A and B are shown apart, each in its own frame.
Chain A
Amino acid sequence: MNPNFEIKIIFGNSFDSLNKILNTFCGKGFTLETLTTHVQYQRNRNELKMKIKGPQKLLIILLKKMATFPDVFKVSWNETSSYLFNEGLQRATPINNKKKGELNETLL
């Protein structure tokens, strides 16, 4: 089953950043359903919204990787931070998990 996903990415003001983001999904079995951009969403920051179809697990891995790109400032999926799927991740810089309103929740 290939579910639909809505992805929102805030990125830097260059074609290089945009290309690197789009390239991430190339050749991996995803289908583009819709794509909208909001240039200068904030100062020198652009917003890219996409609806894509494809394998969920791979999408999460790719979004996490994308969040480490130098010119990518925020990655979210269906309105929640991609780190939601890293529940229990311990990190120095907290990421607000908007859906649950929790910071760095711990397991064990």
Chain B
Amino acid sequence: MVRFKRISGSQIFFECLKNEKVKTIFGYPGGAVLPFYDTLYDIEDIEHVLVRHEQGAVHMAEGYAKATGKTGVVLVTSGPGATNTVTGITDAFMDSIPIVIFTGQVPRSFLGLDSFQEADVIGVTRPITKWNKLVRSPQELLEAIPKAFKIANDGRPGPVLIDIPKDVALEEFNFEGFSKKESTYKSEPKDLPNKIQVYSKIVNAFKNSQRPLLYFGGGVIQSEASKELKEFVELTNIPFTSTLQGLGGLPGDHPNSLGMLGMHGTYASNMAVDHCDLLLVLGARFDDRVTGKTSLFSKNSYKVHFDIDPSNMDKTIQCDFRVEGDIKYNLKSLLPHLRREKDLKKTVEKQNPWWKQISHWKKECPLLVNKKELGATLILSKLNQILKKNKTKFSVVTDVGQNQMWASQYLHFQRPKTHITSGGLGTMGFSVPAAIGAAFGKTEENLKKCEKEEELVISISGDGGFQMNMQELITAATYKISVKFIVLNNSYLGMVRQWQELFHKERFSFTSLEGANPDFCLLAESMGIHSKRLDNLDDVENAIQWLLSPGIKLLECVIPQEEMVFPIIPSNSSIKDIITERFSKEEK
């Protein structure tokens, strides 16, 4: 009796992907991956999204992973196909996004001979992946693919790359079936050995505090700890601030929210960080855009740091108490200790003066909306108002620069996995493809849950970043994947211009795109996407309503080049150096 079947490397590749419950892959064919595409021709239960550039494929996989919590999968060819993925892989590495990239490679006997479309992609991607591997036989795929998915998701998530020579994909072998069907993505979290002491100490730290503050980051969203965090905030009535990646971890309009912290964070959140006596940090890594000058960052507070990655502990800021592990698991274990605490109410009452101080800071320097002229603050605050009024479920994918900061300031994210952006690497050109990937993910989730209500995916870019990956508009149009594209067009590389104005004596060196931009509306129309230009203050509401109506739409918003993101704490400075408006009172 024969208990095995003859199967090729490319066939086993897709069997392994099915085993990992992969439904969508983003890719681009080429010589070295021809066997995979040949096998894919007959596969119906995996959707392949044909992109227009390999960088777009990786950003789409990132958007998909961030929007769904699943693993993003990319398939590209060898040489230039593989090297084109490098920026996206680095982006995923910096922002801890679980993606698995499969690259084709020249046949084994051609390796190292400077063959056509050969690149040492393992060498190139070694420092920007959690793990990478060149597969030497089709049998190795059986071990490498599940391992890739596990490593991408386990602990602090990140990208993994598998390089597959063409002849490995073609070679047949005797396949005896999978040893186990269910693959486990994440290691089971374990209890701290001295958990009662640890959690009691944290509760005591809170009880002894008069000015506590919670600061959380993307780790809360990665570990799906929003529910537990909300209960924590409600039990302790602690004010909270979040990093850029943490937005959506708790509702943006929650009464305890102080908004984002850091360089372009709110005045209230940065003042609270500076004045608190207890700083509870959850799933954040004290990025330099958050801390500014590290020696002055929250220097009088007792700092408790929860993080899954031990290498984040004490990296930039020395904390007083550190707990390594899954945030959700640790919060879940901490909550019963808080619930049991009888005099928590007294503690909360004791913190009333702190709340008064916070209210004063909120009033002293709120985020301003310029209603007198058409600008980004007005457009985005109006968009937020309309989305809230219509109770629309939405996700926003931003690019990098001013558009990213305005969106983080003026849009209120209500749920986790609804704010997607390139934080660590700051990759211009991220938004368009990542929004398309997110929309694929949301559509897949909707189909699974049989939900009728479509979740809107809105891409927000500046005119500079939009042009870096605008070729992917045609991908959205081809697959009829509904994304609302907003281009905030100030005909400048706005954030660089802002720094040139503030810190380089207004020497606007090579940042102007005036007269050098394409017609974004015509461009969209050429790809079958409806478009509109908003250049009149009175049309804001109508234009947004038009954008939010069904279909793929592009709204170009013409905004003034002088509009800046405020407040701003200059790089390597502290809250004392905050700039809240263009001119000081004396200059006015």
Measured CB to CB, the residues of A under 8 A from B are: 16, 19-20, 23-24, 61, 64-65, 67-71, 83, 85-86, 88-94, 103-104, 106-108
Contact = CB atoms under 8 A, between A and B. Distances in A.
Interface stretch (B125-133, B211-219, B451-459, B573-581): B125-133
26 contacts: A19-B123, A20-B126, A61-B311, A61-B315, A64-B311, A67-B311, A69-B131, A70-B130, A86-B313, A89-B310, A89-B313, A89-B323, A90-B192, A90-B194, A90-B198, A90-B321, A91-B192, A91-B323, A91-B325, A92-B193, A92-B324, A103-B193, A106-B194, A106-B198, A108-B201, A108-B205
Contacts of A70: 130-131, 151
Nearest to B330: A90
Contact of B321 (A24, A91, A108): A108
Nearest to B189: A92
Contacts of A88: 320-322
Interface in B127-158: 127, 130-133, 151, 155-156
B501 interface: no
Interface in B207-236: none
B191 interface: yes
A93 B326 CA distance: 13
A85 B324 contact: no
A92 B325 contact: yes
A107 B313 contact: no
B176 interface: no
Contacts of A86: 310, 313-314, 322
A6 B131 CA distance: 26
Interface of B: 122-123, 126-127, 130-133, 151, 155-156, 189-194, 197-198, 201, 204-205, 309-311, 313-315, 320-325
Interface of B is mostly: mixed
A68 B310 contact: yes
Contacts of B197: 106
B127 A20 contact: yes
Given A61-B315, A90-B192, A90-B198, A16 B126 contact: yes
Given A16-B133, A90-B323, A106-B197, A68 B315 contact: no
A84 to B, nearest CB: 12
B310 A91 contact: yes
A20 B95 CA distance: 20
Q: Which of A20, A65, A90, A94 is most buried by chain B, counting CB atoms within 10 A of its CB?
A: A90
B516 to A, nearest CB: 35
Q: Which of B130, B204, B309, B310 is most buried by chain A, counting CB atoms within 10 A of its CB?
A: B310
B575 to A, nearest CB: 25
Instruction: Report, nearest first, the 10 A-B pairs whose CB atoms are least far apart.
Output: A92-B190, A64-B311, A65-B311, A91-B324, A90-B323, A108-B201, A70-B131, A89-B322, A90-B198, A61-B315
A19 B156 CA distance: 22
Given A91-B323, A104-B193, A106-B197, 9 more contacts: A16-B122, A23-B126, A67-B311, A83-B310, A92-B189, A92-B325, A94-B193, A106-B198, A106-B321
Contacts of B311: 61, 64-65, 67-68
Contact of A64 (B156, B194, B205, B310): B310
A86 B201 CA distance: 18
A84 B52 CA distance: 49
A65 B237 CA distance: 35
B151 A107 contact: no
Contacts of A68: 155-156, 309-311
Contact of A92 (B122, B131, B151, B191): B191
Contacts of A83: 310
Given A68-B311, A86-B313, A91-B310, A23 B193 contact: no
B207 to A, nearest CB: 12
Contacts of B126: 16, 19-20, 23
A108 B194 contact: no
A24 to B, nearest CB: 8
B503 to A, nearest CB: 27
Nearest to A19: B126
Contacts of A104: 192-194
Contacts of A91: 192, 310, 323-325
Q: Which of A61, A71, A83, A85 is most buried by chain B, counting CB atoms within 10 A of its CB?
A: A61
A90 B322 contact: yes
Contact of B190 (A19, A69, A93): A93
B314 A85 contact: yes
Contacts of B194: 90, 104, 106
Nearest to B150: A70
A27 to B, nearest CB: 10
Contact of A108 (B133, B193, B315, B320): B320
A39 to B, nearest CB: 20
A64 B192 CA distance: 20
Given A86-B310, A86-B322, A108-B201, A92 B315 contact: no
